[in-house]
Structure 1
Amino acid sequence: MVTIAPSILAADFAAFGAEIAAVEAEGADWIHVDVMDGHFVPNITFGPQTCAAIRPHIRTLMDVHLMIAPVDPFIDAFAAAGADILTAHVEAGPHIHRTLQAIRAAGCRPGVALNPGTPVEAVRPVLDLVDLVCVMTVNPGFGGQSFIDTCLPKVAQLRAWAPHLHIEIDGGVGPGNARRLVEAGADVLVAGSSVFKGGSVADPAPYGQNIRAIRKAATSVAA
């Protein structure tokens, strides 16, 4: 089964509650929250207070992607804000084992992410500590970027190593590449602009059309 996780980075920031309700009603499986600090990545987005504010509006699952460094001082705050999954980057600090253990101890499901330029081998030592691996297929920091094809072999390698884990793709996902991603082994597709384009809170029907197009492409995998 393929999970579609719209990123609210592409939503209307002035109407997050309504946007979340609309996109969930139109078929979203999870809500993906891209947290950026202006240090680890060249952009600033949301903090724990935003996550706490939108939590009551999320009926599915809050998937919080921490593109921040350091991570550890903020784990408890994001857990208290209601994150279901907390994903930290393997590049964000020297003690990723400790970070992932702290995430689980805080009551969240741990995830580990890796950037396009990071070898997949970097996360192999911690696969027993996580529920999810997020493969970045754009350089993190901004939405709307083009998919980096050379990241695709990482997905197949991760699936071979860890058949039981969620493998999430974040960056440049759309109907045009969803099939290749799922064939490689991905089961969670994060999509921002490709879900929210053409729609609004007043006219959410395009959200559903976009989600169905991604899902249809992803599930048309050849036998």
Structure 2
Amino acid sequence: MLKPKIAPSMLSSDFANLAMLKCGADWLHLDIMSLFTGNWGELVQRIKLKSMWPGVALKPGTNIEEVYPLLDGEDSVEMVLCMTVDPGFGGQKFMPEMMNKVHALRKKYPSLDIEVDGGLGPSTIDMAASAGANCIVAGSLVFGASDPAHVISLMRKSIENAQGVG
């Protein structure tokens, strides 16, 4: 059983108030695009040496098979982020067809942290959790809430219920 993880996205935050970890968040999510064009294994090793978790993001147009080589082997990533919107464009609707990628990853890699980001809200978190996501990224849903701790708790319960824990 994977631990449910909630990661408020810093892109939606007020940088003067990053108290989400006190509200029950597991970590703060920040996308960093790498322009690293050398050896993938070397990049993963560098990230791990800095006590960070290397991961890879799948855009909606990327085939799931392209990530498999990055998950198999000695220098594998520790997390896959399935984007449910096209990155870089705000206000998009959640693409439910991306849950097929989440389901395929969960089936092939049962202990992998699978994160879902983009257009998540009360009506889509359950769908992501049911498909196999154990990490939920939500920006405005958390940072825009009057009670972020309550929203984080609801998100965690959704994952637990989908895993049969709750």
Question: So what's the TM-score if we normalise by structure 1?
Answer: 0.64
Q: Is the 8 A contact 2:5 2:134 kept in 1?
A: yes
Partner of residue 108 from structure 1, selected from 30, 52, 55: 52
State the AA in 2 paired with 1:67. M
**How far apart in 1 are the matches of 2:70 and 2:100?**
19
Equivalent position SS for 2:6: strand
Equivalent position SS for 2:128: helix
Going from structure 1 to structure 2, the CA distance change for 1:184 and 1:198 (only over 3 Å counts) comes to closer
Equivalent position SS for 2:137: strand
Q: CA deviation at 1:216?
A: 2.9
Partner of residue 80 from structure 2, selected from 130, 133, 139: 133
**How far apart in 2 are the matches of 1:105 and 1:97?**
12
Partner of residue 141 from structure 2, selected from 194, 200, 219: 194
In the alignment, structure 2 segments of 5+ residues that lack a partner are: none
Equivalent position SS for 1:135: strand
User: Residue in 2 aligned with 1:11?
Assistant: 13
Q: Deviations over 1:84-133 (max 9, x none)?
A: xxxxxxxxx58544433442344432111111100100000110311111
State the AA in 2 paired with 1:125. P
Q: CA deviation at 1:222?
A: 7.6
Q: Is the 8 A contact 1:174 1:214 kept in 2?
A: no
Equivalent position SS for 1:31: coil
Q: Which has the larger radius of gyration?
A: 1
> 1 or 2, which has the higher strand percentage?
1
User: Residue in 1 aligned with 2:43?
Assistant: 99
State the AA in 1 paired with 2:4. V
User: Residue in 2 aligned with 1:167?
Assistant: 114
The percentage of counterpart residues that share the same residue type is: 42
Q: Is the 8 A contact 1:168 1:187 kept in 2?
A: yes
**How far apart in 1 are the matches of 2:125 and 2:148?**
17
Partner of residue 66 from structure 1, selected from 14, 17, 32: 32
Question: So what's the TM-score if we normalise by structure 2?
Answer: 0.83
Q: Relative contact order: is structure 1 or structure 2 higher (C-alpha 8 Å, sep ≥ 6)?
A: 2
Whether 1:27 aligns to 2:24 is yes
Q: Deviations over 1:26-66 (max 9, x none)?
A: 21111111xxxxxxxxxxxxxxxxxxxxxxxxxxxxxxx22
Q: CA deviation at 1:176?
A: 1.2
Going from structure 1 to structure 2, the CA distance change for 1:105 and 1:145 (only over 3 Å counts) comes to same
**How far apart in 2 are the matches of 1:100 and 1:222?**
29
Going from structure 1 to structure 2, the CA distance change for 1:108 and 1:30 (only over 3 Å counts) comes to closer
Equivalent position SS for 2:86: coil
